[in-house]
Amino acid sequence: MAIKSKYAYGIEFNGHRSNDFGLDVQAKTVGMPAKNKITQAIPFSNTVLDISALYGGQTYKERTIKMTFIVRDGANQSKERLYSLWTQVVNWLMAPMQKVKLKDDIMHNYYYLGEVQKEPSWDEMRAYGKLSVEFTCYPFRIDELVEGNDIWDDFNFETDIAQNTEFDIVGRRVITLFNIGATSISPELVASAPFTIEVGGQRFTLNAGTSSSPDFMLPTGEITITVIGTGKLSFNWHKELI
């Protein structure tokens, strides 16, 4: 039986909302990802060479999100009920065997990819308890909406950009895309016909259909792409921010 939480705020994870268990979020700490730095000291010099972005851009370590939930049932404050409730909650949080979607009600258009890997801690009171968990997460938050969407009500003037990501190509066309996220992205390419794509001094051959490849990446910033062929070509990706 679902328990009512007196607070609307919560998280969504592994098929449930925290409110489904009557949980109140008492505390939350969103950790930031550290950069993976690769440096090389130059002999006979005080200079240290940073080669972190040598193979396609700066990479980041995983981030952590820590949360403390208040676990209680206001209608039944027995110890038996309390233990039954935290058993449900712990098994809900610990069940995934890999990182899955973790949505915070704050900035709800973004989600994390997280997994509870460390053991939760339980602090028991007379009629309620505090359950503290740590999610190990992918470094970036991922936008729920695909780039180039026209959902005006969700447009954020500080973090979004209006752009076309679908193009009609006749022979040869130079197009511009903007990856305003914090990391390079491998987009999904939807082509109605074969195309040749030239970007950053590299050439890619694209067959008709839907495809993606780790070899074809959109770096951060403005990207100029030359497309050769005739038909319709779409670039689909979701912005990723720290």
pLDDT tens digit sequence for 177-230: 999 999 999 999 999 999 999 998 899 999 999 999 988 999 999 999 999 999
Confidence (pTM): 0.86
C-alpha closest to that of 239 among 171, 165, 166, 133:
165
Percent residues over pLDDT 90 in the chain: 74
pLDDT: which is higher, 51 or 122: 122
Question: Over the chain, what is the mean pLDDT?
Answer: 92
Every domain range in the chain assigned CATH 2.60.120: 152-241
pLDDT at 154: 78
83 Rama class: left (phi>0) / alpha (psi -120 to 50) / beta: alpha
CA dihedral 59, 163, 222, 57 (to 10 degrees): 10
C-alpha closest to that of 208 among 193, 222, 218, 197:
193
Tell me the CATH class for 11-139.
mainly beta
152-241 carries CATH number 3.40.720: no
pLDDT at 1: 45
DSSP 20: G
- Which span out of 3-7, 55-59, 222-226 was modeled with the highest average pLDDT? 222-226
Residue 174 above 80 pLDDT? yes
β-partners of residue 227 are: 173, 197
**Helix or strand run (H / E) with residue 141:** strand 141-143
∠ CA 149-158-147 to the nearest 5 degrees? 20
pLDDT at 62: 97
Tell me the residue type at 54.
L
Residue 9 above 80 pLDDT? yes
Q: Which two tokens stand for residue 147?
A: 């780039």
pLDDT digits over 58-97, tens only? 889 999 999 999 999 888 989 999 999 999 999 999 999 9
pLDDT: which is higher, 157 or 242: 242
- CA distances from residue 164 to 68, 72, 114, 231, 235 in whole angstroms, order as listed: 42, 49, 31, 16, 9
pLDDT at 6: 60
Every domain range in the chain assigned CATH 2.40.30.200: 11-139
Q: Which two tokens stand for residue 150?
A: 């026209």
